[in-house]
């Protein structure tokens, strides 16, 4: 039993519980507890003048699995400084690990915790790569984690849909895959497009037909969203829409929202999907159109996928679009893969440049989205690490959102046409601390169904970040005074002081186990002699995840 801790006198910013004021916070046995004012405690931390928030939650970050490891392999230059080794922290608690845009898993955990984050979720786990993804996430110290399994490009789902399978069968299939891969959600990437690329189709819009399976992304989206609704997963369908990065793709993005037919959906890295084709360069911001649609559609949530300038690497399941974009890569090299009749993978290094009109406009579009969406509970702060920028740039991004003069200063450095034309210069909104707490804690917790995370009410998990206030929000959010993970102090003054193993979130849907026979029958041709989706048991998951706690989440089935 750990000693009771009182974090005294901080400004507690806990929008889930409607709190923004000076209060004490009690911590006992990994949980937040209500303490009487003079109740003796084992340790008292003076947080006078500090801001106290729940631990940060990154709901879309490529922290573990095949793609990001290929990115590491592709970019040794990310892990050294010219001819010299990368500098490591002088901290005997940290095992050697380095990298900026594709850091090792160990560095990933250390750097996230140093910013006050206590959970991150891998958004693109392919079913065949599930064990690998869990193994890597298990080697991300401190953070809790979980993954969304990719469906909607797997040959079996497409075949079932093509054959007119009833919704119950699709539901059971989705449930089985979530169960077998120990996923906590389902993501669809370029619906049908990854599969279509395997048949040499180079483009697939929402109402175009897959050249082989003769079904449309609209059908795939509708069927998956319904299946997840019926299974009762907390997190709605996580959607990487069609036509990523293409000027004019706003029409596809709006059509994607309509294709959900009223079911819930979470559109991810929408910055890459909010492009018009107006103006002399045929590339313009469609942030306002998307924000208006999101504001008018309460069943839809988004995360932004903000880009920030500098070197990064893009890692995506969207083979079709990554192949098309590989020529823009910097340095000029890339990795692609067709995966096991399930999925795909494309890794393209990229450098976002301030003087590039396109990149500067992408930067502005992301910020416009943050500032134009009304309901902070339906928008989450992400850079789609590492696709828009490494997660370590979050404090900088938070300052851009909270500080209009700083934002204007940055805008003035960019390609002059963007600076002159962007609607951003006229947007005066500055997000409050409470809104930042929603975008980085409350909203992702709610969207993932993590009832006891992202908040500081009595009984919640004691994942806590204590920040020293500063006029510069970037400085404030870079080096918290204290970070607690499940009640254990893990960071002190921006330095890691303990490295517990994080827990693994996964969903536990019910489904008809008879689906396994259907799966075997339909995959016989391409996977004979190989058990499909060999189920990851709980003991095995625990071994993969380095003995971290298993955090199963109940599902609440619904009828469509």
Binding to another protein in span 255-294, by CB under 8 A:
none
Q: Which member of 37, 92, 164, 166 binds another protein (CB under 8 A)?
A: 92
Instruction: List the beta bridge partners of residue 12.
Output: 21, 52
Please report which helix (H) or strand (E) contains residue 110, including its range.
helix 105-114
Compute the least distance from the CB of residue 23 to another protein, in Å. Answer: 37
Phi, psi of 27, rounded to the nearest 5 degrees: -130, 125
Q: Does 105 bind another protein (CB under 8 A)?
A: yes
CA distance 213 to 341: 13
Contacts with another protein in 162-191 (CB under 8 A)? 175, 179
Is 122 one of the binding residues for another protein (CB under 8 A)? no
Q: Is 391 in the site for another protein (CB under 8 A)?
A: no
Which residue number, 139 or 144, has a Cβ lying nearer to another protein? 139
Token pair of 532 as six digits: 């499909």
User: Which residues, 196 to 255, sit near another protein by CB under 8 A?
Assistant: 197-200, 230-231
Q: How far is the CB of 336 from another protein (least distance, A)?
A: 4
Beta carbon nearer to another protein, 335 or 447:
335
Residue closer to another protein by CB (options 372, 544) is 544
Binding mask 456-475 for another protein (x = CB under 8 A): --------------------
Residue of 42, 49, 85, 167 interacting with another protein (CB under 8 A): 85
| Candidate list 25, 35, 53, 106; residue touching another protein; CB under 8 A | 106
Q: Under rule CB under 8 A, which residues in 294-323 are in contact with another protein? A: 323
Contacting residue, 7, 74, 246, 308, with another protein by CB under 8 A: 74
Binding mask 333-352 for another protein (x = CB under 8 A): xxxxxxxxxx--x-x-----
Question: What's the rounded Cα separation, in Å, for the pair 250 and 284?
Answer: 10
Which three-class secondary structure state does DSSP give residue 187? strand
CA terminus-to-terminus distance, the chain: 46
Alpha helices in 232-298 (DSSP H): 250-259, 287-296
- For the bound state, the minimum distance from the C-beta of residue 534 to another protein, rounded and expressed in Å, comes to 5
CB of 398 to another protein, least distance (A): 26
Per CB under 8 A, the list member of 61, 69, 253, 410 interacting with another protein is 69
Q: At its nearest, how many Å lie between another protein and the CB of residue 489?
A: 22
CA distance 40 to 261: 55
Q: Candidates 60-68, 297-305, 353-361, 362-370: pick the segment binding another protein (CB under 8 A).
A: 60-68
Pairing of strands 144-150, 185-189: parallel
CB distance 521 to 475 below 8 Å: no
Q: Which residues contact 404 (CB under 8 A, 6 or more apart)?
A: 428, 429, 430
In angstroms, rounded to a whole number, what is the distance separating the alpha carbons of residues 145 and 458?
A: 23
What gap in Å lies between CA 465 and CA 78, rounded to an integer?
29
Query: b or e along 282-305 (b: 16 or more beta carbons within 10 Å of the residue's beta carbon)?
Result: ebbbbbbbbbebbeebeebbbbbb
Show contacts with another protein in window 470-509 (CB under 8 A): 508-509
Is 559 among the residues that bind another protein (CB under 8 A)?
Answer: yes
Shortest Å, Cβ 134 to another protein: 9
Beta carbon of residue 262, minimum distance to another protein (angstroms, whole number): 15
Of the candidate spans 400-408, 417-425, 491-499, 537-545, the one that interacts with another protein by CB under 8 A turns out to be 537-545
Distances from the Cα of 242 to the Cα of 119, 267, 274, 476, 496, angstroms: 28, 11, 11, 37, 40
Q: Would you say 104 or 193 has its CB closer to another protein? A: 104
Give the pair of three-digit tokens for residue 466.
Answer: 């204590």
Question: Distance (Å, rounded) from C-alpha 123 to C-alpha 397?
Answer: 21
Q: Minimum distance between the CB of residue 136 and another protein, rounded to whole angstroms?
A: 5
């Amino acid at each position: 039993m750990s000693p009771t801790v009182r974090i005294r006198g901080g400004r507690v910013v806990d929008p889930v519980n409607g709190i923004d004021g000076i209060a004490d916070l009690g911590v006992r046995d990994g949980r937040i507890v209500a303490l009487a004012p003079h109740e003796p405690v084992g340790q008292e931390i003076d947080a006078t003048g500090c801001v106290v928030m729940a631990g940060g939650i990154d709901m879309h970050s490529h922290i573990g699995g095949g793609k990001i490891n290929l990115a590491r392999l592709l970019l040794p230059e990310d892990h050294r400084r010219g001819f010299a080794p990368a500098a490591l922290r002088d901290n005997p608690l940290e095992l050697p690990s380095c990298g900026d845009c594709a850091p090792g898993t160990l560095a990933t955990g250390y750097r996230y915790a140093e910013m006050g984050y206590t959970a991150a979720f891998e958004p693109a786990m392919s079913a065949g790569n599930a064990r690998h993804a869990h193994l890597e996430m298990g080697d991300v110290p401190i953070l809790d984690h979980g993954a969304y399994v990719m469906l909607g490009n797997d040959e079996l789902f497409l075949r079932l849909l093509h054959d007119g399978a009833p919704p119950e069968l699709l539901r059971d299939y989705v449930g089985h895959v979530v169960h077998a891969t120990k996923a906590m959600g389902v993501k669809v990437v370029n619906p049908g497009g990854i599969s279509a690329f395997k048949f040499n189709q180079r483009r697939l819009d929402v109402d175009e037909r897959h050249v082989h399976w003769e079904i449309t992304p609209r059908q795939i989206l509708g069927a998956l969203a319904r299946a997840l609704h019926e299974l009762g997963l907390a997190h709605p369908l996580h959607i990487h829409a069609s036509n990523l990065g293409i000027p004019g793709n706003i029409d596809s993005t709006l059509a994607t929202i309509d294709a959900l037919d009223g079911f819930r959906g979470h559109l991810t890295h929408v910055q890459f999907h909010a492009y018009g084709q107006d103006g002399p360069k045929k590339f313009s911001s469609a942030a306002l159109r998307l924000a208006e649609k999101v504001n008018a559609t309460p069943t839809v949530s988004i995360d932004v996928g903000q880009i920030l300038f500098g070197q990064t690497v893009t890692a995506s399941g969207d083979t079709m679009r990554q192949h098309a974009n590989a020529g823009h890569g910097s340095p000029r090299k890339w990795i692609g893969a067709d995966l096991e009749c399930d999925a795909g993978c494309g890794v393209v290094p990229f450098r976002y440049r301030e003087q590039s009109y396109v990149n500067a406009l992408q930067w502005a579009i992301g910020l416009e989205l943050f500032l134009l969406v009304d309901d902070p509970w339906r928008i989450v702060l992400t850079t789609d690490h590492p696709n828009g920028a490494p997660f370590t740039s979050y404090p900088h991004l938070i300052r851009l959102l909270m500080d209009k003069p700083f934002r204007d200063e940055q805008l003035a450095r960019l390609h002059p046409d963007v600076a002159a034309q962007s609607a951003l210069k006229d947007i005066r909104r500055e997000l409050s601390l409470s809104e930042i707490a929603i975008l980085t804690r409350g909203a992702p917790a709610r969207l993932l169904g993590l009832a006891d995370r992202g908040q500081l009410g009595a009984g919640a998990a004691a994942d806590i970040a204590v920040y020293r206030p500063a006029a510069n929000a970037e400085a404030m959010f870079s080096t918290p005074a204290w970070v607690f993970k499940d009640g254990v102090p893990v960071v002190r003054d921006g330095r890691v002081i303990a490295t517990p193993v994080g827990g693994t979130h996964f969903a536990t849907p019910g489904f008809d186990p008879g689906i396994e026979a259907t799966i075997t029958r339909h995959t016989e041709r391409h996977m004979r002699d190989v058990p499909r989706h060999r189920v990851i048991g709980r003991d095995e998951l625990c071994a993969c995840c380095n003995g971290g706690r298993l955090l199963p989440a109940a599902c609440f089935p619904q009828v469509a």
